Protein backbone atom coordinates (compact mmCIF):
# COMPACT_ATOMS: atom_id res chain seq x y z
CA UNK A 1 0.00 0.00 0.00
CA UNK A 2 1.39 3.41 -1.00
CA UNK A 3 1.54 6.01 1.75
CA UNK A 4 2.75 9.61 1.81
CA UNK A 5 3.02 12.00 4.74
CA UNK A 6 5.34 14.57 3.16
CA UNK A 7 2.84 16.49 1.00
CA UNK A 8 0.23 16.78 3.81
CA UNK A 9 3.04 17.88 6.14
CA UNK A 10 4.18 20.56 3.68
CA UNK A 11 0.58 21.74 3.35
CA UNK A 12 0.20 21.85 7.14
CA UNK A 13 3.42 23.82 7.65
CA UNK A 14 2.47 26.22 4.85
CA UNK A 15 -0.93 26.91 6.42
CA UNK A 16 0.73 27.32 9.80
CA UNK A 17 3.27 29.79 8.41
CA UNK A 18 0.49 31.71 6.64
CA UNK A 19 -1.54 31.97 9.84
CA UNK A 20 1.30 33.17 12.05
CA UNK A 21 2.65 35.59 9.45
CA UNK A 22 -0.82 37.07 9.03
CA UNK A 23 -1.30 37.44 12.78
CA UNK A 24 2.08 39.11 13.04
CA UNK A 25 1.48 41.76 10.36
CA UNK A 26 -2.32 41.96 10.54
CA UNK A 27 -2.33 45.57 11.71
CA UNK A 28 0.18 46.58 9.06
CA UNK A 29 -1.96 45.04 6.32
CA UNK A 30 -5.02 46.74 7.75
CA UNK A 31 -3.28 50.11 7.61
CA UNK A 32 -2.46 49.54 3.93
CA UNK A 33 -5.91 48.44 2.80
CA UNK A 34 -7.94 50.38 5.39
CA UNK A 35 -11.51 49.07 5.08
CA UNK A 36 -11.14 47.68 1.55
CA UNK A 37 -12.94 44.35 1.10
CA UNK A 38 -13.70 42.28 -1.96
CA UNK A 39 -17.36 42.19 -2.93
CA UNK A 40 -19.26 39.26 -4.43
CA UNK A 41 -18.73 40.85 -7.84
CA UNK A 42 -14.97 40.98 -7.33
CA UNK A 43 -14.87 37.36 -6.18
CA UNK A 44 -16.87 36.16 -9.18
CA UNK A 45 -14.68 38.22 -11.51
CA UNK A 46 -11.53 36.78 -9.91
CA UNK A 47 -12.64 33.19 -10.48
CA UNK A 48 -13.85 33.87 -14.02
CA UNK A 49 -10.59 35.65 -14.90
CA UNK A 50 -8.58 32.74 -13.49
CA UNK A 51 -10.64 30.29 -15.51
CA UNK A 52 -10.10 32.25 -18.72
CA UNK A 53 -6.36 32.64 -18.12
CA UNK A 54 -5.97 28.88 -17.65
CA UNK A 55 -7.43 28.32 -21.10
CA UNK A 56 -5.50 31.11 -22.78
CA UNK A 57 -2.11 30.08 -21.35
CA UNK A 58 -2.12 26.94 -23.48
CA UNK A 59 -1.93 29.03 -26.65
CA UNK A 60 0.38 31.86 -25.53
CA UNK A 61 4.07 31.60 -26.61
CA UNK A 62 6.35 30.31 -23.88
CA UNK A 63 8.66 33.32 -23.70
CA UNK A 64 5.73 35.71 -23.31
CA UNK A 65 4.46 33.63 -20.40
CA UNK A 66 7.93 33.53 -18.87
CA UNK A 67 8.27 37.33 -18.98
CA UNK A 68 4.77 37.82 -17.59
CA UNK A 69 5.21 35.39 -14.69
CA UNK A 70 8.68 36.60 -13.76
CA UNK A 71 7.38 40.19 -13.73
CA UNK A 72 4.34 39.35 -11.61
CA UNK A 73 6.34 37.20 -9.20
CA UNK A 74 9.08 39.81 -8.84
CA UNK A 75 6.58 42.59 -8.21
CA UNK A 76 4.73 40.38 -5.76
CA UNK A 77 7.89 39.46 -3.87
CA UNK A 78 8.84 43.13 -3.61
CA UNK A 79 5.52 44.26 -2.13
CA UNK A 80 5.16 41.23 0.13
CA UNK A 81 8.67 41.66 1.49
CA UNK A 82 7.96 45.34 2.08
CA UNK A 83 4.96 44.39 4.23
CA UNK A 84 7.14 42.19 6.41
CA UNK A 85 10.24 44.42 6.41
CA UNK A 86 9.07 47.95 5.58
CA UNK A 87 12.32 49.17 4.06
CA UNK A 88 12.27 49.57 0.29
CA UNK A 89 15.97 48.85 -0.25
CA UNK A 90 15.64 45.48 1.55
CA UNK A 91 12.51 44.62 -0.41
CA UNK A 92 14.56 44.34 -3.61
CA UNK A 93 16.51 41.38 -2.23
CA UNK A 94 13.73 38.81 -2.66
CA UNK A 95 12.81 39.52 -6.31
CA UNK A 96 16.45 39.90 -7.35
CA UNK A 97 17.35 36.62 -5.65
CA UNK A 98 14.38 34.91 -7.28
CA UNK A 99 15.26 36.01 -10.82
CA UNK A 100 18.98 35.32 -10.31
CA UNK A 101 18.35 31.79 -9.07
CA UNK A 102 15.77 31.11 -11.80
CA UNK A 103 18.34 31.76 -14.55
CA UNK A 104 21.18 30.00 -12.73
CA UNK A 105 22.30 26.42 -12.26
CA UNK A 106 20.96 26.59 -8.70
CA UNK A 107 17.36 26.49 -9.93
CA UNK A 108 16.52 22.98 -8.76
CA UNK A 109 13.63 21.22 -7.05
CA UNK A 110 14.52 22.76 -3.67
CA UNK A 111 14.67 26.40 -4.84
CA UNK A 112 11.67 25.80 -7.11
CA UNK A 113 9.55 24.60 -4.17
CA UNK A 114 10.94 27.23 -1.82
CA UNK A 115 9.86 30.19 -3.96
CA UNK A 116 6.55 28.52 -4.83
CA UNK A 117 5.73 28.13 -1.13
CA UNK A 118 6.90 31.64 -0.24
CA UNK A 119 4.80 33.14 -3.01
CA UNK A 120 1.73 31.12 -1.98
CA UNK A 121 2.12 32.21 1.65
CA UNK A 122 2.51 35.87 0.73
CA UNK A 123 -0.50 35.81 -1.60
CA UNK A 124 -2.61 34.15 1.10
CA UNK A 125 -1.57 36.75 3.69
CA UNK A 126 -1.88 39.64 1.26
CA UNK A 127 -5.32 38.77 -0.15
CA UNK A 128 -6.69 36.96 2.88
CA UNK A 129 -7.48 40.21 4.64
CA UNK A 130 -9.48 41.44 1.63
CA UNK A 131 -12.06 38.67 1.94
CA UNK A 132 -14.95 38.44 4.37
CA UNK A 133 -16.45 35.24 5.74
CA UNK A 134 -19.33 35.41 3.23
CA UNK A 135 -17.20 36.23 0.19
CA UNK A 136 -14.83 33.44 1.22
CA UNK A 137 -17.73 30.98 1.12
CA UNK A 138 -18.68 32.14 -2.39
CA UNK A 139 -15.06 31.99 -3.52
CA UNK A 140 -14.63 28.46 -2.16
CA UNK A 141 -17.69 27.19 -4.03
CA UNK A 142 -16.80 28.88 -7.34
CA UNK A 143 -13.11 27.95 -7.19
CA UNK A 144 -13.95 24.32 -6.46
CA UNK A 145 -16.36 24.18 -9.39
CA UNK A 146 -13.75 25.73 -11.67
CA UNK A 147 -11.12 23.29 -10.42
CA UNK A 148 -13.38 20.29 -11.08
CA UNK A 149 -14.21 21.51 -14.59
CA UNK A 150 -10.63 22.31 -15.62
CA UNK A 151 -9.08 19.19 -14.08
CA UNK A 152 -11.64 16.50 -14.86
CA UNK A 153 -13.40 17.89 -17.96
CA UNK A 154 -11.32 20.35 -20.01
CA UNK A 155 -7.91 19.34 -18.64
CA UNK A 156 -6.73 22.96 -18.90
CA UNK A 157 -5.10 22.97 -15.47
CA UNK A 158 -3.06 19.88 -16.28
CA UNK A 159 -2.03 21.23 -19.70
CA UNK A 160 -1.13 24.64 -18.25
CA UNK A 161 0.94 23.03 -15.50
CA UNK A 162 2.81 20.92 -18.04
CA UNK A 163 3.69 24.04 -20.01
CA UNK A 164 4.51 26.32 -17.08
CA UNK A 165 6.47 23.73 -15.12
CA UNK A 166 7.71 21.22 -17.68
CA UNK A 167 8.74 23.69 -20.37
CA UNK A 168 9.41 26.92 -18.46
CA UNK A 169 10.30 25.77 -14.95
CA UNK A 170 8.02 28.35 -13.32
CA UNK A 171 7.13 27.72 -9.65
CA UNK A 172 3.34 27.47 -10.00
CA UNK A 173 3.14 24.15 -8.12
CA UNK A 174 5.06 22.34 -5.42
CA UNK A 175 6.58 18.97 -6.28
CA UNK A 176 7.65 16.66 -3.47
CA UNK A 177 8.69 12.99 -3.36
CA UNK A 178 6.43 10.60 -1.51
CA UNK A 179 7.51 9.40 1.93
CA UNK A 180 7.71 6.75 3.37
CA UNK A 181 6.70 5.24 0.01
CA UNK A 182 9.37 5.93 -2.57
CA UNK A 183 9.56 6.22 -6.33
CA UNK A 184 6.72 8.73 -6.75
CA UNK A 185 6.32 12.50 -6.81
CA UNK A 186 3.17 14.35 -5.80
CA UNK A 187 2.14 17.77 -7.09
CA UNK A 188 0.01 20.47 -5.50
CA UNK A 189 -0.91 23.69 -7.29
CA UNK A 190 -0.37 27.12 -5.77
CA UNK A 191 -4.09 27.82 -6.14
CA UNK A 192 -4.81 24.94 -3.76
CA UNK A 193 -2.19 26.19 -1.30
CA UNK A 194 -3.60 29.71 -1.56
CA UNK A 195 -7.08 28.36 -0.82
CA UNK A 196 -5.80 26.53 2.26
CA UNK A 197 -4.02 29.67 3.44
CA UNK A 198 -7.08 31.83 2.81
CA UNK A 199 -9.23 29.46 4.86
CA UNK A 200 -6.67 29.59 7.67
CA UNK A 201 -6.72 33.38 7.74
CA UNK A 202 -10.49 33.67 7.51
CA UNK A 203 -11.05 31.01 10.17
CA UNK A 204 -8.74 32.90 12.51
CA UNK A 205 -10.64 36.12 11.84
CA UNK A 206 -13.99 34.43 12.46
CA UNK A 207 -13.24 32.07 15.36
CA UNK A 208 -9.81 33.00 16.67
CA UNK A 209 -6.31 31.56 16.47
CA UNK A 210 -6.99 28.50 18.62
CA UNK A 211 -9.73 27.11 16.39
CA UNK A 212 -7.78 28.12 13.27
CA UNK A 213 -5.00 25.80 14.47
CA UNK A 214 -7.55 23.03 14.96
CA UNK A 215 -8.94 23.65 11.48
CA UNK A 216 -5.47 23.55 9.93
CA UNK A 217 -4.76 20.23 11.63
CA UNK A 218 -8.05 18.74 10.42
CA UNK A 219 -7.46 19.95 6.85
CA UNK A 220 -4.00 18.35 6.79
CA UNK A 221 -5.32 15.11 8.32
CA UNK A 222 -8.20 14.79 5.85
CA UNK A 223 -5.80 15.64 3.03
CA UNK A 224 -3.53 12.84 4.22
CA UNK A 225 -6.39 10.33 4.19
CA UNK A 226 -7.75 11.34 0.79
CA UNK A 227 -4.27 11.56 -0.72
CA UNK A 228 -3.58 8.02 0.46
CA UNK A 229 -6.75 6.82 -1.25
CA UNK A 230 -5.74 8.56 -4.49
CA UNK A 231 -2.23 7.14 -4.40
CA UNK A 232 -3.58 3.62 -4.21
CA UNK A 233 -6.77 3.69 -6.26
CA UNK A 234 -6.64 6.69 -8.64
CA UNK A 235 -3.74 7.54 -10.91
CA UNK A 236 -5.13 10.58 -12.77
CA UNK A 237 -5.12 14.27 -11.78
CA UNK A 238 -7.69 15.09 -9.10
CA UNK A 239 -9.04 18.50 -7.94
CA UNK A 240 -7.13 19.17 -4.72
CA UNK A 241 -9.59 21.91 -3.75
CA UNK A 242 -12.04 19.13 -2.85
CA UNK A 243 -9.49 17.67 -0.45
CA UNK A 244 -8.77 21.03 1.16
CA UNK A 245 -12.37 22.16 1.65
CA UNK A 246 -13.42 18.71 2.89
CA UNK A 247 -11.12 19.10 5.88
CA UNK A 248 -12.26 22.67 6.44
CA UNK A 249 -15.95 21.76 6.34
CA UNK A 250 -15.40 18.83 8.70
CA UNK A 251 -13.71 21.13 11.22
CA UNK A 252 -16.58 23.63 10.99
CA UNK A 253 -19.17 20.86 11.34
CA UNK A 254 -17.37 19.46 14.40
CA UNK A 255 -17.25 22.91 15.98
CA UNK A 256 -20.93 23.49 15.31
CA UNK A 257 -21.83 20.08 16.76
CA UNK A 258 -19.77 20.69 19.86
CA UNK A 259 -21.27 24.14 20.28
CA UNK A 260 -24.83 22.81 19.96
CA UNK A 261 -24.16 20.13 22.57
CA UNK A 262 -22.69 22.72 24.92
CA UNK A 263 -25.75 24.95 24.55
CA UNK A 264 -28.14 22.03 25.26
CA UNK A 265 -26.29 21.04 28.42
Question: Which residue segment(s) compose the domain that 167 sits in?
Answer: 6-264
Has residue 112 been placed in a domain? yes
Question: Considering the domain boundaries, does residue 163 fall inside one?
Answer: yes
| Residue 258 belongs to a domain | yes
Residue 91 lies in a domain: yes
* pLDDT at residue 87 in the model: 85
Residue 1 within a domain: no
Q: Is residue 62 part of a domain?
A: yes
**pLDDT at residue 68, as a whole number:** 93
Residues 116-148: pLDDT tens digits?
A: 999 999 999 988 888 999 999 999 999 999 999
For the purposes of burial, counting CB atoms within 10 Å of the CB of 78, is it exposed (0-12), middle (13-18) or buried (19 or more)?
middle
| Better-scored residue on pLDDT, 235 or 94 | 94
pLDDT per position as a tens digit, 225-252: 999 999 999 888 999 999 999 999 999 9
pLDDT at position 197 over 90: yes
Q: How far is CA 43 from CA 129, 192, 245, in A?
A: 13, 16, 17
Q: Does 203 map to a domain?
A: yes
pLDDT reading at 34 higher than 70: no
Overall average pLDDT of the 144-166 stretch = 93
Q: What predicted TM-score, i.e. pTM, was given to this entire model?
A: 0.93
Asked, for residue 34, whether it belongs to a domain, the answer is yes
Total domains present in the chain: 1
Amino acid sequence: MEFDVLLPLVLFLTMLATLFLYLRIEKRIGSVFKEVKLSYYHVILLVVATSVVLGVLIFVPGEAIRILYLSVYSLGFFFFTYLVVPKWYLSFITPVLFVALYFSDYWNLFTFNLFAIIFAIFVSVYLGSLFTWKTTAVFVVLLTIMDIVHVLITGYIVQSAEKLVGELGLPVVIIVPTFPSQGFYTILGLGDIFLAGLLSVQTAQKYGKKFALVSITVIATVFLVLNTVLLNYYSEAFPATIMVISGWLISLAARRLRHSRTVKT
